[in-house]
A and B are shown apart, each in its own frame.
Chain A
């Protein structure tokens, strides 16, 4: 019995170690670069001979050509990500509530459309989206990126929240209606409080989707002061002799907020995103 258990453990470890290495090596690589001086960076050692925080100083003090607007761009990323998170959440919550709880006509159609959008890769829509934003005169404004990201995030958000809503017993709505609740009171006093885990998960999902976005940010924004940090990072590679150590230090900083958010909300992420995955 114990031998079998040990064997199973061993197999899990055998699978686990390569997966962990596969995931961690690039991160370690980035970390290593960020702590190395320019000369050390390509030495091939597992730990720099003279670890330094100088790269971070360069980034924070905007002391590099590519980093002239670092703080501004970090702020852009933040504003856009939060806006996308909040607005997507609002749209998806109202939609899920209306479809799942108020059972409005056409709800099924909306759900089917939301599902259908999964079949279209976001990259396919980049050019049409660019044209659409041009028509509306939104190009080179952050609203263009915010609206585009909301468009991309909403279908999934609606789908997941609708599935999660369906799990709330319908008797609660009926009890509230008999207790005298209007639909808005039902939404505010019963529905939202009970949906908090799913709402946190979906809000985080939309926020991180926007934070990590490169393609649309690159297409829709061009002014150096308006672009997000993701696009700014891309600019590093346009140089013949890219300052890898500074790029990696910036990248590390850029990767910290998502990691922090995941850490804080990890409890909700698992329960929230798998909600509705299976019908209970």
Chain B
């Protein structure tokens, strides 16, 4: 159990800078997820923490101790790789006990710890098998077992579920989370999948092009995205963004978009004539009758029922909009509807900088 800190950490590959001075802390026992599109530097950051990449600048510390120049093996960390990286010539038992063997641990302790980890992960029947004789999910569990046996200060996961099929991914997601709740070991988890991030994390660090876009709990990021990137990255289906000009008349305010559609918002945001991006999540839109006062006229393009909810793709002016309704709906493609916007749920961003203008919800 330990805390982890990054202070102004940088990474260069030759003359290319991929991490631009990153600073944040991970609390003892926290499950922190690094998320971002590929190439954003999240894996590099994790590998720097693991000691697999040199740190070009700044300080990485584990439990208050600077580890920049400490060997991987002396950092007291365990890592689960995307490819599992199981030793193909060793049985599950030997794979899991390998680190203890290298440490010349007592054979009895090794047996005991491997047995305990195998029990936690339901791997007991497979201890004498080789990795090639296991399914993807079982291999993933062995990789986790190898990490558990170490009893490290920090667990590192590098996209551990990417090689699994969708169903297994959901199951393993829950298993990893349950494991963390049981062991309470500080965990850093890298993924490009925002759903994984949302469901597993205590806190999420959203990265983009080598910088941190925002740090926060899953719901903080969802409800109060700091900028357009986070707004569009977090949430599925993604937030609708409509570019337009902000207008204020007396007590009312709206964004006028190309095609003449007017999107209402709470007054007190931005200034008249400002070029803004109007954002609203699909579940904060509702279908009303066409012509309803304040509603945005739109036409249904596609109806996608998924059972519990229905996703509607509509065209409002020149903007394609997605909305999600709970339960069933009777609308059909081609229908003209009105989009009812809840102004309290609107996010407004400056078009030029992408920054959030003012928090809409308290």
Binding site for B on A (CB under 8 A): 169, 171-172, 174-181, 185, 189-190, 193-194
Contacts and interface: CB of A to CB of B under 8 A. Distances in A.
Interface of B: 50-52, 71-73, 77-79, 81-83, 85-89, 98-99, 102-103, 146, 150
B72 A177 contact: yes
Contact of B72 (A169, A172, A178, A193): A178
B83 A171 contact: yes
A133 to B, nearest CB: 41
Contacts of B77: 178
A175 B85 contact: yes
Contacts of B51: 177-178
Contact of A172 (B50, B71, B87, B99): B87
A179 B276 CA distance: 51
A181 B78 contact: no
A178 B102 contact: no
B52 A177 contact: yes
For the complex, would chain A's binding face be called helix, strand, loop or mixed by DSSP majority? helix
B87 A178 contact: no
A132 to B, nearest CB: 41
A13 to B, nearest CB: 38
B90 to A, nearest CB: 8
A181 B103 CA distance: 9
B99 A180 contact: yes
A181 B77 CA distance: 13
A179 B88 contact: no
B52 A179 contact: no
Contacts of B81: 171, 174-175
Contact of B85 (A171, A180, A189, A194): A171
Nearest to A177: B72
A173 B146 CA distance: 15
A176 B89 CA distance: 13
A153 B86 CA distance: 33
A190 B87 contact: yes
A179 B89 contact: no
Nearest to A169: B83
Nearest to B149: A179
A174 B156 CA distance: 13
| Most chain B beta-carbon neighbours within 10 Å: one of A171, A181, A190 | A171
Nearest to A193: B89
9 tightest CB-CB pairs across the interface, nearest first?
A171-B85, A179-B99, A180-B73, A175-B85, A180-B102, A193-B89, A177-B72, A171-B81, A178-B72
Contact of A178 (B73, B83, B88): B73
A181 B83 contact: no
Contacts of B150: 179
Contacts of B85: 169, 171-172, 174-175
